[in-house]
Homo-oligomer: A and B are copies of this chain.
């Protein structure tokens, strides 16, 4: 609104007049300014506070992202170049034990033991090549499924250069930290109420993981060789037909983390969160068959789906709750607020 004022001569309505008015009447002016601010900056959304005196529903979703930890004492640390980069389930330790020229098992399986790589594998290239051979065998034997032909970096923490690269489908078996980008695609209510709507995707029923579940407009794993920003542009184009010029306005707004011990292994994941404001009449279009449909829902409706159902792919719930917190939809007046803020980073956020 104000930016328009500076660019074109809109006739001075009382609403604009105050913005130019001299400051002799401070309080009178503030009350007027406020009416402007309420339109521009939009009122604080309070409906969720009324509907949800407690945030237990959201806390339950967070718990569902952090499960199976009772198995922790059965896992064997996976070390590369002296750094712990993952953990293996007993089943997988026995599988890699068959390839002593690549995987070396020291001590007994479990927290006291360790899985490492053969000493002669002293570069990222050598390690990646030999480990890939092993993973291909396990794939051919049907032990590793859902092969993606996508390489994930193996690192102790995000900024470090990879110690080796492994096929994405093996990430959980090796228990390495996996990173992803999740984009909140939102629209400001054109009526100026300040209300927001979120674009929600319905995952295709043919997807191997989470078929038919609700998802973000755009989300994807963070592969080797792309920056997070480049990955956001790529996924925006591939998953929703969002042109680069628009996708480039996505803002990094933080990260959430969780830790799950799933059937196939240890999953310490970190999701980089992005906010992407979309024009009211932009409509995302499924591009790669991974999404069956997109729908635009008021944020309050999305919040109730997250709090009261398991319709969303589990890890999306963390990113949506983070969105609700950052945009003022939740408040310290709601029971569990601080626990929820803290729980969004339950995993190793590094």
Name, among A252, A277, A283, the residue most crowded by chain B CB atoms within 10 Å (CB to CB): A252
Contact A282 B30 (CB under 8 A): yes
> For the complex formed by this chain, how many copies does it contain in all?
2
Contact B246 A277 (CB under 8 A): no
| A257 shortest CB reach to chain B, Å | 8
Residue of B nearest to A33 (CB): B279
A51 close to B (CB within 8 Å): no
Digitize A178-213: 1 where CB-to-B-CB distance is under 8 Å, 0 elsewhere: 000000000010111000000000000000000000
Contact B326 A338 (CB under 8 A): no
Digitize A1-13: 1 where CB-to-B-CB distance is under 8 Å, 0 elsewhere: 1111111101000
Contact B19 A281 (CB under 8 A): yes
A292 close to B (CB within 8 Å): no
Contact A243 B159 (CB under 8 A): no
Q: With A3-B1, A34-B249, A328-B275 as given contacts, are A23 and B338 in contact (CB-CB < 8 Å)?
A: no
Of the A-B pairs whose beta carbons lie under 8 Å apart in the complex, a sample of 5, sorted by A's number, is: A6-B190, A37-B279, A158-B332, A159-B336, A338-B349
Interface, chain A (partner B; CB < 8 A):
1-8, 10, 19, 23, 26-27, 30-31, 33-34, 36-44, 157-159, 188, 190-192, 227-229, 241-243, 245-246, 248-255, 257, 270, 272, 275, 277-283, 285, 325-328, 330-333, 335-339, 341-342, 345, 349-350
